[in-house]
Amino acid sequence: MKYVLMFFETESYEAEQDIAFEAVGRWLAENADKITHWTSLKHPHTATTVRSEAIIDGTVGDGPETFSGYAEIEVADLDEALRLARAWPACPVVEIRPAA
């Protein structure tokens, strides 16, 4: 099954980014056989959001979490996707969604 793991940062995590960078590299290498694509995103202040009524500088939401990247994975089932998400060494929030 294909899933997308979406990574969300919090303000408190920003201080830990540099430390986590090395661990992320190891996680990517250890799971390379399951990852079909991944990318990280530039800082939220670089975002532009298009809504039907306007174009806005900035991100979609003003919540405490910021979408920072994703990995597309091919795994046997949701349980395996959950194991990968729990092992993610960086951002404190990982959302898992089935991919079409």
At residue 16, what is the residue type?
E
Per-residue model confidence as pLDDT tens digits over 66-100:
888 999 999 999 999 999 999 999 888 899 999 98
Q: What is the pLDDT of residue 43?
A: 79
Q: What is the pLDDT of residue 14?
A: 64
59 — pLDDT class (breaks 50, 70, 90): low
Domains and CATH numbers, the chain: 2-98 (3.30.70.1060)
Burial label, 81 (beta-carbon count in 10 A; 0-12, 13-18, 19+): buried
* CA distances in angstroms from 46 to 41, 59, 61, 84, listed in the order given: 9, 8, 14, 29
